[in-house]
């Protein structure tokens, strides 16, 4: 459809990734060019199956899925997030269908991303990073011209700490409040491949186009009871097909994720990843979600690569006019949930 926003999603499904795919695949403003998978919330094989299953449930199997890299740049064994996502990486929905199609095998995910992004008009396509940073770091290393060509990169990853927002920190029983969620200091996506994370954040051609959604922001977007009701029944006064199979599938996923987060982190589940898709809708003038950039402040981001704080993202505020990464300090959470539910409602007829 003419006028749509071209977007490529790199992810590791994952419950929250599933909702990012819903937003990118079902919101009428988006043209989802493709999905690439990465090691992260579970093994690469399982994240690929999960992405295909989500698209099958949405009846969007024409969207190509490419399997990416199975391990980090420099580290032998990938980290998996099965503690909150379950053994499959997306536990909790018995009705989630098996994939109706397989992943594309005509080219590697990195080449598929390059080809799809460069096929769009200059300064129109968005790249969304929702898992380990490995695929995107490889893309930028092999094809640096992509950084100049795309309109923007949005990342769900990292954590700032120090009261950056008013979000509640997570904490495990018997521990102090955490800056991170994978360790006391590190957010999971950045922690999985810290060398790749540093490569992305240190790319001067990319920084000015990058929006980071850290835990400090995602912990504002918690799966409360009223959110479950919204996703199950739709907004008050608006007609929805509450018997739609997709509503049950994805509400069940939310319930599972929320329950595991409550059990492990003593926190209602923050739905991290779709926020990094929603921010594009506001930037493009499609939806008003009121992301707060605090007067346009920018940051440099570094990664700790050794020691107890390995994987920690360290944000330094830059002087006015300096180019760097953009990080919101807040958003209108009810508006975000309404936008996400609206995308889910597209599947009601299924």
Residues 6+ apart with CB under 8 A from 279: 154, 211, 213, 289, 291, 328
Give dist(CA 117, CA 344) in Å, integer: 26
CA distances from 299 to 103, 170, 276, 321, 328 (A): 37, 24, 17, 11, 11
163 burial (CB, 10 Å; 0-12 / 13-18 / 19+) is exposed
Q: Which of these is catalytic: 15, 39, 85, 272?
A: 272
CA distances from 173 to 80, 135, 184, 335 (A): 21, 34, 13, 32
Give dist(CA 320, CA 322) in Å, integer: 6
Bridge partners for 35 per DSSP: 9, 65
Q: Is 265 noted as a catalytic residue in this protein? A: no
303-336 as b/e, with b when 16 or more CB fall inside 10 Å? Answer: bbeeeebbbbbbbeeeeeeeebbbbbbbbbbeeb
State the CB neighbour count (10 A cutoff) for residue 111.
Answer: 14
For 297: left if phi > 0, alpha if psi spans -120 to 50, otherwise beta; the answer is beta
Question: How remote is the C-alpha of 261 from its chain's centroid?
Answer: 17
**In the chain, which residue ranges form alpha helices assigned H by DSSP?**
15-26, 44-57, 82-85, 109-118, 134-142, 145-149, 188-192, 194-201, 204-207, 215-218, 225-233, 245-265, 274-283, 333-345
Give dist(CA 337, CA 258) in Å, integer: 15
Catalytic residues: 272
């Amino acid at each position: 459809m003419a006028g749509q926003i071209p977007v490529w999603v790199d992810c590791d499904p994952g419950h929250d990734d599933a909702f990012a795919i819903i937003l990118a695949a079902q919101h009428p403003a988006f043209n989802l060019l493709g999905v690439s998978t990465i090691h992260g919330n579970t093994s690469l094989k399982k994240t690929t199956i999960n992405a295909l299953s989500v698209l099958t449930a949405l009846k969007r199997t024409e969207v190509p899925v490419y399997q990416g890299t199975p391990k980090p740049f420099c580290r032998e064994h990938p980290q998996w997030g099965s503690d909150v996502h379950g053994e499959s990486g997306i536990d909790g929905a018995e009705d989630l269908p098996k994939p109706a199609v397989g992943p594309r095998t005509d080219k590697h995910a990195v080449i598929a991303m390059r080809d799809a992004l460069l096929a769009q008009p200059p300064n129109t396509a968005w790249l969304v990073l929702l898992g380990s940073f490995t695929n995107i770091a490889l893309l930028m290393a092999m094809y640096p011209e992509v950084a100049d060509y795309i309109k923007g990169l949005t990342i769900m990853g990292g954590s700032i700490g120090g009261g950056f927002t008013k979000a509640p920190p997570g904490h495990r029983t018997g521990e102090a409040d955490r800056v991170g969620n994978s360790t006391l200091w590190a957010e999971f996506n950045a922690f999985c491949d810290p060398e790749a994370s540093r490569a992305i954040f240190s790319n001067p051609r990319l920084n000015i186009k990058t929006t980071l959604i850290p835990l400090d922001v995602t912990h504002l977007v918690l799966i409360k009871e009223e959110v479950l009701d919204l996703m199950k029944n739709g907004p008050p006064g608006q007609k929805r097909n509450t018997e739609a199979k997709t509503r049950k599938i994805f509400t069940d996923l939310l319930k599972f994720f929320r329950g595991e987060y409550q059990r492990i982190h003593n926190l209602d589940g923050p739905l991290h990843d779709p926020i990094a898709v929603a921010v594009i809708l506001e930037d493009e003038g499609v939806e008003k979600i009121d992301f707060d950039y605090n007067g346009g402040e920018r940051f440099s981001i570094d990664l700790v690569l050794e020691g107890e704080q390995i994987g920690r993202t360290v944000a330094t505020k830059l002087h006015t006019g300096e180019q760097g990464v953009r990080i919101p300090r807040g958003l209108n959470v009810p508006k975000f949930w309404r936008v996400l539910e609206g995308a889910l409602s597209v599947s009601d007829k299924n």
